[in-house]
Structure 1
Amino acid sequence: MVWWHAVLIAATGIWAGMINTVVGSGTLVTFPTLVALGYPPLTATTSNAIGLAPGTISGAIGYRHEIRGQARRLLTFGIASFAGALGGTALLLSLPPDAFETVVPGLVGLAVVLVLVQPRVSTWVLSRREIKEQKGKRTHRSGPLLFFLVFLVGVYGGYFTAAQGVLLMAIMGMLLSEPIQRLNGIKNVLAAVVNVVAGTVYAFIAPISWPVVGLLAGGSVLGGLLGARIGRKLSPLVLRIVIVVVGVAAIVQLIVRQL
């Protein structure tokens, strides 16, 4: 690995760690970067999942005050995310590599669309919470539907991690009435569960670039801490524009690879 590749990977790891904590979809920065540097899409995905896992953990720790008192809910959702992540990794590793390379442009496109609609999701979550508060209602139950949806997001995250945070915010906002920062904290914990489970499985039986893992891990931890501390002060629009631009570039590059 040439030195400037290492610098670029570490820098994208920092940026992805920050984005994952604040907005989600940091994978849409690191994955295209790895593919652009010549790594096969499957290796880029597995190495990315392992490398970003420490950053999701540091981001979750950064939101520990927002999720105080949510242990039972986190345990319930965590089980769903754990099981879903196992299912997603099984899909990725059991299907032929060509299948992943065929569907990954579509998955990146889906993730980009989710990032674009994320502001509307956040606005909707806030408006719904205000309506519930005006009616004197608050939804605290974690019913079977929400458990199942969290499981499905875990499957998606175990297969391709990009934008799982946006999906989690959407379904929790639909079925729970909680402050958006608390939902964001829960989202970070569940994303950490999925990334750690998927990364652990990949580490033993999937093609991995360990130098890439090390660079992404160090960068994502720093980025996760920065995101929890100063990320709320950054413009979500700027972060979102970067994600979308890099994501669209990745789609073009992946399609060109298949031609």
Structure 2
Amino acid sequence: MDFSTLILLLSAGFAAGTVNALAGGGTIFTFSALIAAGLPPITANATSAISVLPGQIASTLAYRSELQAVARRLLPFIIASALGGAAGGVLLLATDPSVFRVLVPWLIFFATVLFALSPKIAGVGERLATGRAAGSGPGASATALQGAVAIYGGYFGAGMGIMMLATLSLTEGRDFHRLNAAKNVLACVMQGLAVMVFIISGAVDWPSVFVVASASIAGGWASVRAGKLIPQQVIRWGVIVTGLALSGWYALG
């Protein structure tokens, strides 16, 4: 790994850690940087997934008390997330590299659109919550929807947290902390199972993992100061513009 690549991956990891802590969507940075560093798209996706997992676990542990209240109720979602995440990981590895390369700009574009629409998606969740009492547990349709989200999360991952906002509102109502705690633990489950598939298959570039993961953790810490200095709307538009530019770049490349 040369010096310029090291700086690129450190910068992307730091940006991803900061953005994930403040607004979500940081995987767009790590995935794109790993491709720019020369990794094949499937290896870049697997490496990005394992690089951001420590930050997700840390975020989940911060909600220990909230998780104690929701863990049993979320068991159907947890099972669906585990199965879906593993299935998504297997599906990624079964995808022909040339096909996945064609999908890359569309996957980035889809994740960017999800990120841009996240306030409206949250609004849908709010409306769903009014029709179902918080704490009542997920129904079959909500569990199936969570399983579909998990397959996407294991396959690509960027934007999966936004997709879970609406489904989790069916069980957690409007309580932000419960909603965020549930989202974090399910993200850890689905990506954790996908990462296990990637590790077993040997699809991970470990030197890149250590660089990106360490920078991502540092970015998460820095987000506390960034959140006070930079308006969240500026961060949101930065992610949206970057995502659209990258999707266009890979579509034309």
Length-normalised TM-score, structure 1? 0.86
> 1:215 maps to what in 2?
211
Give the length in aligned residue pairs. Answer: 252
**Any gaps of 5 or more consecutive residues in structure 1?**
none
Distance 1:11 1:68 in 2: 36
Distance 1:231 1:196 in 2: 28
Do the aligned partners of 2:172 and 2:178 also contact (CA within 8 Å) in 1? no
> 1:250 maps to what in 2?
246
Do the aligned partners of 2:10 and 2:215 also contact (CA within 8 Å) in 1? yes
**Amino acid in the other structure paired with 1:30:** T
> 2:104 maps to what in 1?
104
Distance 1:14 1:53 in 2: 14
Q: Secondary structure at the match of 1:31?
A: helix
**Pair 122,226 (structure 1): closer, same or farther in 2 beyond 3 Å:** farther
Distance 1:182 1:22 in 2: 17
**Pair 223,95 (structure 1): closer, same or farther in 2 beyond 3 Å:** same
Do the aligned partners of 1:17 and 1:221 also contact (CA within 8 Å) in 2? yes
Distance 1:18 1:67 in 2: 24
> 1:28 maps to what in 2?
28
> 2:12 maps to what in 1?
12
**Pair 124,95 (structure 1): closer, same or farther in 2 beyond 3 Å:** closer
Distance 1:174 1:74 in 2: 11
* 1:183 equivalent among 179, 184, 188: 179
Q: In the TM superposition, what are the counterparts of 1:71-110 in structure 2 within 5 Å?
A: 71-110=71-110
Distance 1:170 1:240 in 2: 20
Q: CA deviation at 1:178?
A: 3.4
Q: Secondary structure at the match of 1:67?
A: helix
**Pair 226,192 (structure 1): closer, same or farther in 2 beyond 3 Å:** farther
Do the aligned partners of 1:157 and 1:194 also contact (CA within 8 Å) in 2? yes
**Any gaps of 5 or more consecutive residues in structure 2?**
none
> 2:150 maps to what in 1?
154
Q: In the TM superposition, what are the counterparts of 1:99-178 in structure 2 within 5 Å?
A: 99-126=99-126, 129=129, 137-138=133-134, 140-173=136-169, 176-178=172-174
Do the aligned partners of 2:168 and 2:182 also contact (CA within 8 Å) in 1? no
Deviation per CA, 1:201-248, whole angstroms, max 9, x where unpaired? Answer: 111214322111111222233444555x66875643223222212211
Do the aligned partners of 1:24 and 1:164 also contact (CA within 8 Å) in 2? no
Do the aligned partners of 1:125 and 1:180 also contact (CA within 8 Å) in 2? no
**Amino acid in the other structure paired with 2:238:** V
Q: CA deviation at 1:252?
A: 2.0
Distance 2:128 2:89 in 1: 34
Q: Secondary structure at the match of 1:38?
A: coil
Do the aligned partners of 1:56 and 1:224 also contact (CA within 8 Å) in 2? no
> 2:61 maps to what in 1?
61
Q: CA deviation at 1:176?
A: 4.5
**Amino acid in the other structure paired with 2:73:** R
Q: CA deviation at 1:5?
A: 2.2
Structure scoring higher RCO (CA < 8 A, sep ≥ 6) equals 1
Question: Identity over the aligned pairs, expressed in percent?
Answer: 33
Distance 1:23 1:180 in 2: 14
Deviation per CA, 1:10-50, whole angstroms, max 9, x where unpaired? Answer: 23223323333443221111111222233221121111011
**Amino acid in the other structure paired with 2:58:** S
Q: CA deviation at 1:115?
A: 0.5
